[in-house]
Amino acid sequence: MGGTFDPIHYGHLVTAEGAFWQFELDEVVFIPTGEPWMKEDRVVTPAEDRYLMTVIATASNPHFSVSRLEIDRAGPTYTRDTLETLRQHEGEGTELFFITGADATLEIFHWKDPEEVLGLAHFIAATRPGYDIARFEAEAPSRHPNVSVMSVPALAISSTDVRERVAEGRPVRYLVPEGVKTYIDKAGLYR
Ligand code: ATP
Ligand code: MG
């Protein structure tokens, strides 16, 4: 599961656990982005903070882990490069799945070479609240055999909302794990 994770929240965790169960995965690897080229319009928190929050949030789950693959790589992040690296690491016998929100999956369809990316992994597109599934299904790649739609419980949580709450002094408890909340406070993030 790739993401900015700025910060990681229960929407990400519920989605990952849902995919783990529904697609009978062996493990879920969270891959925080390095330099998120899709988000250059705003200042993203240093990768090391986002990585640590992701480790804290996933530590208690035995089948969750976190990869430094993208944050240790210089330059912009491309999902295609990440999937190719994972393929080399894991060998041909491993089936790769890429878990994203349906909104993020649509962005992938609009890339230069979607067929190539869709050949590298099975994409699990999680529907999130406020998301128009008809818009997703109107796109031809949504019917690609390597794309599945997964509905997750209605969690209208977003990192954007969490950051705004912290900035305004409103509560984030029960939206992010306790340890993530503590880390945000200690590091003074989003103020
Ligand atoms: P931001 O508000 O900064 O865009 P975000 O909450 O969308 O952050 P990302 O790190 O951008 O979080 O998301 C990583 C992945 O998780 C994306 O594929 C995104 O679509 C998905 N995702 C984010 N929030 C949810 C949610 N509440 N339910 C299901 N999927 C989600
Ligand atoms: Mg997002």
Chain-wide mean pLDDT for the chain? 90
pLDDT tens for 101-150 read 888 888 877 776 788 888 999 999 998 767 777 877 887 777 889 999 89
Cα-to-centroid distance, 177 and ligand 1 (Å): 15
Residue-wise pLDDT tens digits, 148-181: 989 887 678 999 999 999 999 999 999 999 999 9
User: What is residue 168's predicted lDDT score, i.e. its pLDDT?
Assistant: 98
Cα-to-centroid distance, 80 and ligand 2 (Å)? 18
- Ligand 1 lined by 106 (C-beta under 6 Å): no
Ligand 1, residue 102: give the atom nearest the CA.
20
Concatenated DSSP letters of the chain: -EE--TT--HHHHHHHHHHHHHTT-S-EEEEE-SB-GGGTTSPPPPHHHHHHHHHHHHTT-TTEEE--TTTTS-SB--HHHHHHHHHHHH-TTSPPEEEEEHHHHHHHHTSS-HHHHHTTSEEEEEE-TT--HHHHHTSGGGGSTTEEEEE-------HHHHHHHHHHT---BTTB-HHHHHHHHHHTTT-
The pLDDT value given to residue 115: 84
